[in-house]
Structure 1
């Protein structure tokens, strides 16, 4: 699994390929991207990422992070709340993110749709904005609710089959908080 991040440095940063060559891609100020791991040859200075490139397509590359702690700021939720965590058997604090447009919540297989959260709804998941391994731009979801509704655990929604679902954050629409399908602050 990975995590979602946002560039809070105030400047853009170049994306490089596996051999440390510039790709032409950039992570702009306040742009959201997914951290998928580290560079095998330089794990302390480079993060493997998935991002929206200038053509609007999802792309992968490596981001030099040494000396730029604000470059990998958390994809912060709008609020937090305590829920029962079916995967641990106790209560945990989860982040809550808003939903801008109708969004599917998929099962761990990335194919089965377990819920559709409409515009105005919310999703809740780990505070560090964990993502899927196969789809690093999909937020891990433990609970969801429709606008004005009650929280529904994914464990209940799947009949006890899994405590997690995954919701695409909407990088196909843009990579800033004002364009994503799922957003925080």
Structure 2
């Protein structure tokens, strides 16, 4: 699995091609992006999905040796709440994010849609999971709870009749990569 991160380094960071010899763009300060795993041959370099200067979601590689480059998405939720965790069988602290536009909640298979959260809804994930995301869709945030605007919280466990303990919500890199443009956003 990957995780959603925020460039909290205070400076723009270059995103490189696989060979690390051509710039594909920059991660701006406070920009949100997804980390998908280590580069197979380069030390301290990871594969990322980011929004390039053309406004498209793209894949590249970033050097991780800069302090604050990979601050977990859970560092800036919209709020926090305590929910029952069906994995640990206890109440745990969750990060809660707002939903800006209709966002689908996918099952662990990344195909089955279990809900569509309307604008004004929210999603939640354990705060200690560091903004964990999917393996195939690294810009999809792992979520365990969601709610419609004005509704009550629903767990993925309940929604799937105890078949899945989590699902995934695309954060919306196709719309932007800052908190004022992402589909799923906090206070970063």
Aligned partner of 1:182 in structure 2 is: 184
Equivalent residues in 2 for 1:92-131, closer than 5 Å: 92-127=92-127, 128-131=130-133
CA contact (8 A) 1:126 1:140 kept: no
Structure 2: gaps spanning 5 or more residues = none
Alignment partners' CA distance in 2, 1:24 and 1:116 = 33
Alignment partners' CA distance in 1, 2:11 and 2:72 = 17
Work out which of the residue numbers 161, 166, 169 in structure 1 matches 2:168.
166
Aligned partner of 2:90 in structure 1 is: 90
Work out which of the residue numbers 147, 159, 177 in structure 2 matches 1:145.
147
Q: CA deviation at 1:22?
A: 2.1
Q: Count residues in correspondence.
A: 183
Aligned partner of 2:5 in structure 1 is: 5
Aligned partner of 1:54 in structure 2 is: 53
Aligned partner of 2:15 in structure 1 is: 15
CA contact (8 A) 1:125 1:143 kept: yes
Aligned partner of 1:26 in structure 2 is: 26
CA contact (8 A) 1:13 1:26 kept: yes
Alignment partners' CA distance in 1, 2:30 and 2:161 = 38
Equivalent residues in 2 for 1:57-76, closer than 5 Å: 57-66=56-65, 68-75=66-73, 76=76
Query: Could you say what secondary structure the match of 2:68 adopts?
Result: helix
Query: Could you say what secondary structure the match of 1:177 adopts?
Result: coil
Alignment partners' CA distance in 1, 2:38 and 2:10 = 23
Alignment partners' CA distance in 1, 2:34 and 2:24 = 18
Q: Deviations over 1:93-148 (max 9, x none)?
A: 11100111111101111111101111111100132111011100001110011122
* Displaced runs of 4 or more, over 4 A: none
Normalising by structure 1, report the TM-score. 0.93
Alignment partners' CA distance in 2, 1:83 and 1:65 = 33
Alignment partners' CA distance in 1, 2:40 and 2:102 = 37
Normalising by structure 2, report the TM-score. 0.92
Q: Deviations over 1:55-104 (max 9, x none)?
A: 222211111121x2111112221222221111222222111001111111
